[in-house]
Structure 1
Amino acid sequence: MSVRIKLTLSYAGFLMLAGALLLAAVWMFLLRYVPDGWPGLLGIAPNRYLLLVAFAPAAAIVLVFLLVFGLVGGWILAGRMLAPLTRITDATRVAASGSLSHRIRLEGRRDEFRELADAFDAMLARLEAHVAEHQRFATNASHELRTPLAISQSILDVARKDPKHDHGELLARLHAVNARAIDLTEALLLLSRADQRSFTQEPADLSLLVEEAAETLLPLAEKRGVTIETSGEITAVLGSHTLLLQMTTNLMHNAIVHNLPGRGTVRVTTSVRPETVVLTVENSGETLSPELAATLTEPFQRGTGRVCDAHPGVGLGLAIVKRIAQAHDGSLTIVPCPAGGLRVVVELPTPPPNAVG
């Protein structure tokens, strides 16, 4: 039986039970307060048998009326009550067919069905955005991977058609292209690992990760004339040491590369808030608009004028940072500095007291 039929029978059964109890109460009243020998109306003295004979057909008619009324009324009420659930079910079928643009948009007062419909609409919106993001990512990744493969094919064709060509130069170019393809593949694997959260939770300190990343990137900073300044307090977190170090390194690498050559600065600070720990990376550089800054976390979106010939990257630096932060239940905020450059803030939740020794 459907839920509507079950609710209808429940309404009708409850109404029948209430009617039967009411009739039983009336009958008990008659038995108690109308004894045998009571003069009655017009001098007629009814007894209990006559009362029963007169009461039983009337009670039966009342019960039949209550049954019909309960079934009809219950069917209508159940239909009205379950109408929102029917709309939610129809929307689920539409979403299951592959269309995620459909929304329920349930009207009326905020009750349990309205909350369920709103939650379902929010879930569809997130799924639609997630699927669209993955489709764009797959398209961009295919394009980025095809480029080094096409260049490698061209180099090999030149070497085959012109045996007298300088093979040393061709090998150097082939090595550079192959290295870029390897970097891109490793970045894609790292991005996938962050998305799947397939890592072991362990205690870590962002301030120590900052020092480690700064030591690694110091030669690059000195080569480009960029000064790295680190400060802050101990910031304990719980997560993957490898991913958190990659996140910190990516932020500082971007801050060094996209900076003012010969006179740039990178300031990295760590701090603790009541419920989060904060990693802030701020650098000098070109003035960027808020609209452009908002696109920098998109995969393969390097931003106009932000591609450096010496360190072109693979366009996944900030995308990886964002995914790693999200994999650790954190957030990433990018704000352009009025004087130029960016201020990037990563907030991660503070671990439980017993999780970090």
Structure 2
Amino acid sequence: MSVRLKLTLSYAGFLMVAGVLMLASVWMFLLRDVPASWLIPLLPNVPRVFDPSNFGPGVFVTAAAVVLVFLLVFGLLGGWVLAGRMLSPLTRITDATRKAANGSLSHRIRLPGRKDEFRELADAFDTMLARIEAHVAEQRRFAANASHELRTPLAITRTLLDVARNDREHDPVELVDRLHFVNSRAIDLTEALLLLSRAGRRTFTREPADLSLIAEEVAETLFGLAEKRGVAIEVAGDAAHTVGSPALLLQMATNLVHNAIVHNLPADGTVWITTGVLPGAAVIVVENTGEKLAATLVSTLTEPFQRGSERIRADHAGVGLGLAIVESIVEAHDGTLTLTPRPDGGLRVTVRVPLGPVR
């Protein structure tokens, strides 16, 4: 049976039970001990069949049966109408669900009326559809970009091999070096894609971690690259305990500091790494000097394969997934990532993750 029919029968059944109880109460407490001769004068239009000699339980049962039949019909009709009106929002939600199942994620319920349980359900469903639509669009864009990025080194490799086949006198050492560079770049891109997928699935063991220790380790690891580029690294702040994957958090901090070093001033640049604690959150902030950045450019830097063409350095371009991986790792740790251009040039990146217990 449909829900509407079940509700209709429930309404009618409840009305029948209430009618039976009401009539039984009337008979038990009002009419059972009242002489029939007292009731007839109160009912001037009663047919003569209801004379004092034959007025009794049988007559009352007959009248009660008529009343109950009326209540049954009224309960069925009224219950059917009321159930239809109550369940009409579910019909709209069901239609939207079917459209979403068929691939139409742009449809929204937008249920009108006052805020009740159905309205809350419809609004939650609309919010879910909006998030799914955005996620699907992002995945499609990511797949297209990944396909393009992966196709580039393969195309370059084929071109180099075609040239070498047609030019037998070409230096094989140079060919090998160029193929090695292209192959290394393809491997780096593949590993970055795998890391991004791993962070997005949240398939990692959560352990206690201290962002201040991670910051010091990253600074020590990237000290050689910073020194080579004439960039100073300054680490400061307090312990910032959280719970998550130490390896992924280390990768997150490494990407941030690496970007801060690469996208910096040509000389005498600085990278500041600060850790600390805010109410309910462990925080790591990475800032760097550099060119002044437009807010519109900064808002796109976390998109996959968005390198920021105005800031790119040809000798260390990366694969365009650094900040995308950072954002995925932060989201996997239920944190927030904020990018803000510095007034004097450069970028300020703030990562907040839930505060963990102090070990």
Per-residue CA deviations over 1:155-206 (Å, capped at 9, x if unaligned) read: 1111111111112211111111111111101100100110111111111111
Are residues 1:239 and 2:221 paired? no
Are residues 1:89 and 2:104 paired? no
Q: What amino acid is the match of 2:317?
A: P
Are residues 1:316 and 2:321 paired? yes
Partner of 2:232: 227
Aligned residues between the structures: 353
Per-residue CA deviations over 1:82-114 (Å, capped at 9, x if unaligned) read: 001111111111111111111111001110000
Cα offset, 1:339, TM superposition:
1.1
Partner of 1:182: 187
- Between the aligned partners of 2:128 and 2:237, the Cα distance in structure 1 is 39
Cα offset, 1:37, TM superposition:
6.8
Partner of 1:163: 168
Q: 1:48 to 1:334 in 2, by over 3 A?
A: farther
Are residues 1:261 and 2:266 paired? yes
Partner of 1:151: 156
Asked whether the equivalents of residues 38 and 46 of structure 1 are also in contact (C-alpha less than 8 Å), the reply is no
- Between the aligned partners of 1:291 and 1:299, the Cα distance in structure 2 is 16
Cα offset, 1:117, TM superposition:
0.5
Relative to the length of structure 2, the TM-score reads 0.94
Q: What amino acid is the match of 1:107?
A: P
- Between the aligned partners of 2:62 and 2:20, the Cα distance in structure 1 is 13
Q: What amino acid is the match of 1:13?
A: G
Asked whether the equivalents of residues 36 and 56 of structure 2 are also in contact (C-alpha less than 8 Å), the reply is no
- Between the aligned partners of 2:61 and 2:217, the Cα distance in structure 1 is 93
Are residues 1:137 and 2:162 paired? no
Asked whether the equivalents of residues 31 and 48 of structure 1 are also in contact (C-alpha less than 8 Å), the reply is no
Partner of 1:55: 60
Q: What amino acid is the match of 2:231?
A: V
Structure 2: gaps of 5 or more residues: 43-47
- Between the aligned partners of 1:293 and 1:75, the Cα distance in structure 2 is 58
Q: What amino acid is the match of 1:209?
A: I
1:16-31 pair list within 5 angstroms: 16-31=16-31
Q: 1:48 to 1:179 in 2, by over 3 A?
A: farther
Relative to the length of structure 1, the TM-score reads 0.95
- Between the aligned partners of 2:342 and 2:86, the Cα distance in structure 1 is 55
Partner of 1:172: 177
> Higher mean Cα deviation, 27-36 or 4-13?
27-36
Are residues 1:215 and 2:223 paired? no
Q: Give 3-state SS (helix, strand or coil) of 2:316's partner.
A: coil
Matching residue within 116, 133, 140 for 1:111: 116
Per-residue CA deviations over 1:195-243 (Å, capped at 9, x if unaligned) read: 1111111111111111111111111111111111110011111111111
Are residues 1:9 and 2:12 paired? no
Q: 1:338 to 1:345 in 2, by over 3 A?
A: same
1:271-282 pair list within 5 angstroms: 271-282=276-287
Q: Give 3-state SS (helix, strand or coil) of 1:103's partner.
A: coil
Q: 1:48 to 1:343 in 2, by over 3 A?
A: farther
Q: What amino acid is the match of 1:6?
A: K
- Between the aligned partners of 1:38 and 1:177, the Cα distance in structure 2 is 110
CA-atom RMSD in angstroms: 1.8
Asked whether the equivalents of residues 8 and 74 of structure 1 are also in contact (C-alpha less than 8 Å), the reply is yes
